[in-house]
Each structure stands twice: as structure tokens, then as C-alpha cells.
Structure 1
Amino acid sequence: MSIRPRRSVLYMPGSNARALEKARTLPADGVILDLEDAVAPDAKAEARGRVVETVKAGGFGPREVVIRVNGLDTPWGMDDIEAAASAKPDAILIPKVQDPQQLVTVGERLDALGLPAQTRVWAMIETPIAILDIKAVAAAALNPLTRLSVFVLGTNDLAKETRAALIPGRAPMYSWLMQVIAGGHAYGIDVLDGVWNAFQDMDGFAAECAQGVEMGMDGKTLIHPSQIEPCNTAFSPPGTEVARARSIIAAFDLPENASKGVIQLDGRMVERMHADMARRTVALADAIAAKE
């Protein structure tokens, strides 16, 4: 089982040369070089050139490099996509995805530009329409043309569009977040949680990371480097959990258990599906260890 850790993914403003340089050294699993929200309209073209130059220069090591473009309905969207394709990042993040056709349009353009299939597409889920039609959007991953591999939750925009309050615990939008997780994971798509705005409130941040783990998020998007280490810790499987997973796998691998669907281990009944879950836990732990 091959897994790419996406515990911490940090937004970096595409207009800030110093931030782009720093992105090469931070311990985040991934960086999103942003051409959208973090860049003023009159700085879009300059930021685009700077981001492309930065990505082409490389030096990011094991970090996943993602370029967030402007929306397809903006004056900059398609130019951003063409420029991003020329840089060949690990992924291109499309904002405000609401229907599968948007992903098909992007995929067709990337294919026309000759971009290799290794460059994936990430989709921002940040509108009520996207939530209401999440199954159809997620099912677009079945079409190789779309390259869809990750959902990124835009909780700030979601709050704006729905008028739901952004409060600790996120009760007003909890069910929406779970819909995205269910839809994404049903079609093999990783799901990254939205940002925590009060970056100096580390206790609140830790609580929201813990909630994301409990919900089944694969990681979290971040707005400040100080959030990286606690986020990595939160989304890394604990040592005790990894040890337990290894023991479950070993038990089911015994010849006498080869045909069994349920076994007893340390006084507990364990089903074969738990072995499948254990293999994912171990694969994630091993992938994290290989990066560090």
C-alpha cells in the first residue's frame, strides 16, 4: 500500500518572494503556492511569474508542491493554469469547484498542454453547491482525465456563503464536513481540513486538529509555520496504535488464520477488516518515517 503523507499543507503567498524561498525548508508535508486569495488583483501577473520560476527551480525535497490558481471564471484562471502547467508542480489546486464539468475542463486543458499524468488536480470545496452535490464531484475521480486526488476544504468561504458561524467545535458545519469526507473517501480522494484563523491560539488549533483526526481528515491546511509541528504530531498515528496495527497484521498473516474472517487477539475479537485498517496505519507510519 502506497500512501503520501499530507498531514500539514501550508499556504504561501505567491507574491512574497521571501515566503516562497522559505517554503523549501519548512517541515510541512506540502506547500500551496497561492495565486488566489493571498494575491491582490494588481499583483496577479507578477506573482504568477514568481511562482512558476520558484517551482521550476526546485529544491523542495520531499515536500509536495501545489500551485493554487485563480477561479476559472476570473480573468486570470486559464492563464494561471497554463503557467502552472509549464512549471510541472505535483498538483494544481482549483478553487470553488462545484461540478464535475469544471474538473473535466481543467483536465482537458492540462492534457492539451502535454502535462504528464503525475501532476494531479486538487479541488477546493468551499460553496454550498459543492456540499450539496459532493457525490457527483467526488465521482469525477473515476475519470482519469480529471486527475482528481485531493479535496481541500475552504471553511472560511463556506462560512461566508452559508452565514454559518465559525466557532470552536464547528457544530454549524460539522455535517457538511463529514459529507465531504464520506464523498471523498468513497472515491479514493484524500480530504484536507480547512485553516485555523487564530494562529496564535495554539490550544484552539490543537483541538481542531484532534477533531479533524477523529472525523477522518487526512491532514490540515495551515496559514502559519508555527502550526506545522503540532499538526504533524496530531495527524501522525501514535506509536501504540502502530504497534497494535503491526500485531493485528502479524496475527492474520499466520498460516492457521489464513482463512479466518475473525480471530481473537489479546482478549478482543478482531475482524479481517481491522487488518485492512491496520495495513493503512502501518503504511502511513512507514511513509512518515521515510520522510524524517
Structure 2
Amino acid sequence: MTPPTAKPARPFRSVLYIPGSKERALEKAQGLAADAIIFDLEDAVAPDEKVRAREVLAEALRADYGKRARIVRINGFDTDWGRADAAAFAGHAGVDAVLVPKVSTPADLDAVAAVVPDKPLWAMMETALGMLNAGAIAAHPALQGMVMGTNDLAKELGSRSRADRLPMMAGLGLCLLAAKAHGRVIVDGVFNAFKDDEGLRAECAQGRDMGFDGKTLIHPAQLEIANAAFAPDEAEIDLARRQIAAFDAALAGGQAVAVVDGRIVENLHIVTARATLARAEAIAALAD
């Protein structure tokens, strides 16, 4: 069995959507505290603006976006614009990955990979069929990451909006399991009420606790909350260091178990502790 593909070292706490047709927004994004940007040519662009948006974005991505991951969401191949979008950014030096909308089967990725052979693909997970095929999609060799499209999924399911996101749990869980099984990045869906800080904070905490790497965002005002929620805090970093130190001391004494704060610490906890410290280091490196 082939081991899971390693995740990129860079963090994906905050993944901000920016319309590909808005020159001012594209320029402003160069200075925003987002770990990644999704430059959107699909939902955020009106049909009569699609071609112009492609041209505007191709030029804008020649600018310096620093250490932010640059992901372009193309239109679907079932539209008049999808193949031309893919071709335009397949060899673009300013693009780190291409995001494919409404991925329902691995064949959807195959089609794009044939046009974009040299860049990683990301998959929008937003259809019922996509949820059922999440494992096969996550296993695709060109795939680097998955993005939950909870608005489109809710529309397809006919589900109601709830603060606890109960109608979304089956889909979120299936995609999360698939991503973790195959070592892919996975980011949670958007929170639509961009002026509701407490609601966003609660939904970020829920996604973080489930295991998501970060959250997609629709407004720059949401960045600070997402960045804080998906980063280890000082208490977590301190605990990780103390667990590693205690476990190393236990091993030196011929023991395979340590105790920290009244809790058993075994090797599996050390794996998590080291991952916590590595994540904190990657976040610090992004800020340098």
C-alpha cells in the first residue's frame, strides 16, 4: 500500500475567496493576513464577465503575493469557460494550485489534470455524489487539497441552516475521513454572516475540533478569528513541550509511559505533540 502523501508544510488556517474580476480586491489581497487565497472565476464572477476576469486575474497573479498559497478556482468543464480557464493557468508561474468546482467523481479531476498536468489540484466538495465518492476523490494522485462547499451542498440536500450544522455533519465527516486517510489538506466551508464574530468563532472552533486544517472565508474581516482558531495557543504549545520532555525522560529510564498533569502520555500523544509544535513553527515562518 502506498503511504499517504505528505501535506504541504505551509498552514491553511485561513483561505480567503477573492473575485477574479475585481482589480482593487486583487491588489488589496497582497497585504492581507490570509494563509491562502482562492482567486475565484466561478461563483463570484457574472457570466458576461468570465472572459475578462480570466484576463484580469492572469495579469494580477504576476504580482508578489508573498508566502500566501495562490489557488485559482476555475469554472467547470461543463461550462463555456472551464477548459479555457484551466489552459490559461496551467503554466502560470503565479499559481500554486487549481481548484476544480463540484467534484463528484475522480473522473472530474482526470479531465482537468489532462489540461493542467504540472500543478496540484484541489477539489470543491459540494455535491451529494461527491460526499459518497470522497474516498476515491481523495486518493486521486493529482489532488493536494479539498474544500468543503457547504452552501452548494445544503442547496442540493434541501437542508436548513442550523448553528450546530447538524445537516452537514455526514458530508463533513466523510470528506474529513477521506482527506486524513490520504494525507490531503482539507478546509471547512464558509460562514456566511461575516459580521457575526461570535458565530464565526464558534463555527471555527467546531471545524478545528473536528480536525479541519482551516476555514474558507468570504470577507477579510474574518481572517483574524480563523487564524487564531486554527493555530495552537500558548497553553497547547507548552503542554506539547512538557509531554515530549516527560516522555523522553521516561524512555531514558526504561519506561514507555509518562505522566503529565495527571494524564498518561504514550507515544501516540507524542506524535500529536510534535505535530502541534511543527504547526506552530510553520505559522511563525509564514509571518516572517
Please tell me the TM-score bracket, short chain as reference: over 0.9
Q: Counterpart of 1:37 in structure 2: which amino acid?
A: D
8 Å Cα contact 1:92/1:121 also seen in 2: yes
**Would you say 1:83 and 2:88 are equivalent positions?**
yes
How many angstroms does 1:252 deviate by?
Answer: 3.2
How many angstroms does 1:271 deviate by?
Answer: 1.3
**Would you say 1:32 and 2:18 are equivalent positions?**
no
Q: Distance in 2 between matches of 1:182 and 1:258?
A: 37
Q: Distance in 1 between matches of 2:128 and 2:223?
A: 29
How many angstroms does 1:101 deviate by?
Answer: 1.7
Q: Distance in 1 between matches of 2:254 and 2:268?
A: 13
Q: Counterpart of 2:77 in structure 1: which amino acid?
A: L
Identity of aligned residues (%): 47
**Would you say 1:137 and 2:137 are equivalent positions?**
yes
8 Å Cα contact 1:252/1:258 also seen in 2: no
Q: Please give the root-mean-square deviation of Cα atoms over the aligned residues, in Å.
A: 1.7
2:107 to 101, 105, 108: 101
Q: Counterpart of 2:75 in structure 1: which amino acid?
A: N
Cross-structure match for 1:212: 207
Q: TM-score with structure 2 length normalisation?
A: 0.93
Q: Name the SS for the 1:87 alignment partner.
A: coil
**Would you say 1:250 and 2:235 are equivalent positions?**
no
Q: Distance in 2 between matches of 1:179 and 1:155?
A: 13
Cα deviation code 1:61-81 (max 9, x no counterpart)? 111111100012111111100
Q: Name the SS for the 1:3 alignment partner.
A: coil
1:50 to 52, 56, 66: 56
Q: Distance in 2 between matches of 1:83 and 1:259?
A: 60
**Would you say 1:291 and 2:286 are equivalent positions?**
yes
How many angstroms does 1:260 deviate by?
Answer: 5.0
Cα deviation code 1:109-164 (max 9, x no counterpart)? 222xxx3xxx3211100000011111111121xx2xx2x11100000000000101
Q: CA 1:223/1:253 → structure 2, altered by over 3 Å: closer, same or farther?
A: same
How many angstroms does 1:184 deviate by?
Answer: 0.7
Q: Distance in 2 between matches of 1:105 and 1:258?
A: 56
1:175 to 159, 165, 170: 170
Cross-structure match for 1:64: 69
Cross-structure match for 2:78: 73
Cα deviation code 1:32-79 (max 9, x no counterpart)? 110000001110000001111111x23101111111000121111111
Q: How many residues matched?
A: 280
1:20 to 9, 23, 26: 26
Cα deviation code 1:81-114 (max 9, x no counterpart)? 0111132311111000111122222223222xxx
> Equivalent residues in 2 for 1:153-164 (5 A)?
153-164=148-159
**Would you say 1:272 and 2:267 are equivalent positions?**
yes
Q: Distance in 2 between matches of 1:263 and 1:273?
A: 12
Q: TM-score with structure 1 length normalisation?
A: 0.91
8 Å Cα contact 1:8/1:221 also seen in 2: yes
Q: Counterpart of 1:87 in structure 2: which amino acid?
A: H
Q: Distance in 1 between matches of 2:281 and 2:74?
A: 32
How many angstroms does 1:257 deviate by?
Answer: 4.2
Structure 2's unaligned 5+ residue stretches are 1-5
8 Å Cα contact 2:243/2:273 also seen in 1: yes
1:6 to 3, 6, 12: 12
8 Å Cα contact 1:53/1:87 also seen in 2: no
Q: Counterpart of 1:280 in structure 2: which amino acid?
A: A
Q: Counterpart of 1:240 in structure 2: which amino acid?
A: A
Cα deviation code 1:252-282 (max 9, x no counterpart)? 3348349754333343211101111111110
8 Å Cα contact 2:250/2:256 also seen in 1: no
Q: CA 1:172/1:248 → structure 2, altered by over 3 Å: closer, same or farther?
A: same
How many angstroms does 1:30 deviate by?
Answer: 0.8
8 Å Cα contact 2:244/2:273 also seen in 1: yes
